[in-house]
Amino acid sequence: MYDIEIDLPEEKEIFDDLNKLEIFRKHRVSANPTDLAILTGGDYVYDTFYNPRRQDYFLKGSRNTINREGKECKAYYYIGERGKLSSTYKLNGRQKSVRPILRVPDGIMKKLIEKSKDGILVKFGIYPQNAADNNTQILLENEYNKGSLKKTSLSFTFDKTNCAEENISFTPIKYKVYEFNNKKYIRLKPNNFSQEYTLIDERVGYSSKPIWIEVSPVYWYIDKKTNSLISRKCLLSGIRYDKQPFSDKFEQTEIYEFINKYMLQDLLQKININKYIDMTDDRLSILKDIIEDISEEDKEEYLKALYQLKDELSKPKKRK
């Protein structure tokens, strides 16, 4: 989408000195969850010595191993306690979280670096993240029950399947976005293991009741060397790494399908990509005007033409 690819972090990008992202040379490996990641079934641990609350998150790739019964099976890696590399052969569990990486083209990365105040963190895209305060929860629910909340064209897709289920395939559920007092929210049905949950700010809630989650900009760490962005927090849980029989290729896994088919589109659905593209030619300006007015279905084709034209213009001109 817009030549931006979504991925999961790889082991070598975190622990290999030659391939380690600059992000992980300067910042801790473990990551805090959003409220959404907690409410969709993620593992989280209190560790006051190292990090008040952090969440296990998926890494890209799997390996062959031997399980407790002595049988050969596949295991995937994840970041566990205190940012340590861990692995499990329960590829169909739903308790790990998604901390996505975006692989970004040069032109867009240049604009993002300019947009960043410190060259380290940048806001890009949107996602439901943290629960509204208690007063806003009451107001939103009252307005919702009266049918007076303003609906937007936005939506976000998660897994409807109970987070404790291991053998049921991904079942998409789409949450509409509502606008209230110039902010946007989804009304989420919690999908976690217990009847109670504890949010980031220590508020306790009950899984039987819906909760309003604010849609807000996502913060990303910038890695200039590899043109990568990695989310500052774990954004979502409740997605299996894969279904049985487990796939040999990452591109065939259930987690790959989710992040590419749903998560990337959800993250970028409000992005005006034109402001990240330099307009240096009349033909580019014309294409920009066209893109502003075409449908979402046709936009992909025109954006490809735009990038091709930019590549053409960036090549050194031959002397006559």
Angle between helices 296-314 and 282-293 (to 10 degrees): 170
Map out the domains of the chain as residue ranges. Answer: 5-275, 278-314
Contact 220, 121 (CB under 8 A): yes
Run of H or E including 256: helix 254-258
- Burial label, 248 (beta-carbon count in 10 A; 0-12, 13-18, 19+): exposed
User: What pLDDT score was predicted for residue 308?
Assistant: 65
CA 232, 233, 235, 236 dihedral sign is positive
User: What pLDDT score was predicted for residue 318?
Assistant: 55
pTM for this predicted structure? 0.81
User: What pLDDT score was predicted for residue 90?
Assistant: 72
Sheet holding 57-66, edge to edge: 85-88, 72-79, 57-66, 97-98, 236-237
Q: How far apart are CA 6 and CA 146, in angstroms?
A: 39
User: What pLDDT score was predicted for residue 55?
Assistant: 86
For residues 45, 47, 50 and 55, what is the CA-based torsion angle, rounded to 10 degrees? 10
User: What pLDDT score was predicted for residue 88?
Assistant: 82
User: What pLDDT score was predicted for residue 310?
Assistant: 58
Residue-level pLDDT, tens digit, the chain, 320 residues: 668 999 999 999 999 999 999 889 888 898 999 999 999 987 666 555 444 568 899 999 877 777 778 877 778 889 987 788 888 877 667 889 999 999 999 989 999 998 888 888 999 999 999 999 999 999 999 999 999 999 999 999 999 988 878 888 889 999 999 999 999 999 999 988 778 888 988 899 888 899 999 999 999 999 999 999 999 999 999 999 888 777 788 999 999 999 999 999 999 997 766 666 554 444 444 444 444 444 555 555 656 666 666 566 555 555 54
